[in-house]
Structure 1
Amino acid sequence: MKKSGQVTIFIIIAVVIVGAVGGYFLLRGESSNEDRIYTPDVEGVREFVQDCFDEASLIGMYEFGEQKNPSTQNLNSEGLPYYYSGDQNLLPSKIDLGGEISNYILESFSLCIGDFENFENLEISSRQPSVNVEIENLKVSTELNYDLNVKKIGSESSSNLKEAYSSEVDIKMGKMYEVIENIVSIDTTNEYGHCLTCSNELLEENDFNMENF
């Protein structure tokens, strides 16, 4: 097992994501029915959910970059995931990574939402939220499906708040994935193990410089 090379690859992924999200991210959010007119109470809930999802998307990306409680089974003695062993490529797919990111986002979102305790005059019931994550070359797009029923205390009528909320984090994660994929491909076929020169060249060709990390 080429341990040093595997840890190097993990560090590249983790630090780039943490640095990007903490430094030059642009986070944008919107819901599917922003033109729809709600009562002030319901609109306040909608805006609260959107704000929580924006925050959760950012925190989820950051925590994924730090690899807190990684779900992968391929962990070294330091608890860090590795992405190849000998000539075996263990790099997860972008779909799998998106699923892992969505778990971090959902956890953060639930903490932010709480029990809607800030809305003391409302009774709010909800269905289980779900998050989809799409890793693109220059950004990570997230979408939340979250159905709510909002009722003012003492009122007989209620409002259904059925929205698809979306956010974007401007980070070159898809591009980074391609670079890491190439590094793993080279290392799994290199009889001498991890090729540091090859890694540096690929990083620089794609405007990722180890000095920036």
Structure 2
Amino acid sequence: MIDQPMKTFFTAKEFAITQASVAALLFLSIPLFNALGVSNHKLMAILHGLGATITVILSCQTIHLVYPMLRGKKGAATKLELMLWLTNLLVLLTIIFGNWLYIAYRAPDGPQEWLMYYNPPLHSIMMEFKEFVALYPLPLGIGAAFLLRRFRHNLVPGSAASSIVALLVTLFWICLLIGFVLGFGLAKLKMV
């Protein structure tokens, strides 16, 4: 009798897709909890939260596309550029929704007044730093996408252009995560 390998129940790709889908679903449910809260600005908070969550999820995919580009895989730069433009669009929408929500943040008896009364340094660190850092991804992402557009046919492993693009995308991703985490923390301190 010849030993035949046992057929697997699922492939590694199917497992990865399932894992990513469950994580994305759970991440996307976070902003929807604003619908349960007491607020006059639920729609703004939900749109900003969903935009930030989807942007962070896409930015994780974007940073993973840097590795094939750095190895010189054919077509990797084009995929990375497309994902960067898509993520940049979501960053812009999230910034727009965030500015819309910022009006409610600065309103009388709003979260800013609450933070300034109970903990002024926390307002300076949490909100002002978060807003400053959260604006960086847009120029970093546009710069990386522009460089990819300009040099994508000349990218070789170890080139200065591919290294600069990788650095810009990494900074882009780090700034998005900082903005997301601090924004989430701010929402937990005083819901808008």
TM over 0.5: no
**Taking structure 1 as the reference length, what is the TM-score of the superposition?**
0.29
Larger strand proportion of the pair = 1
**Taking structure 2 as the reference length, what is the TM-score of the superposition?**
0.32
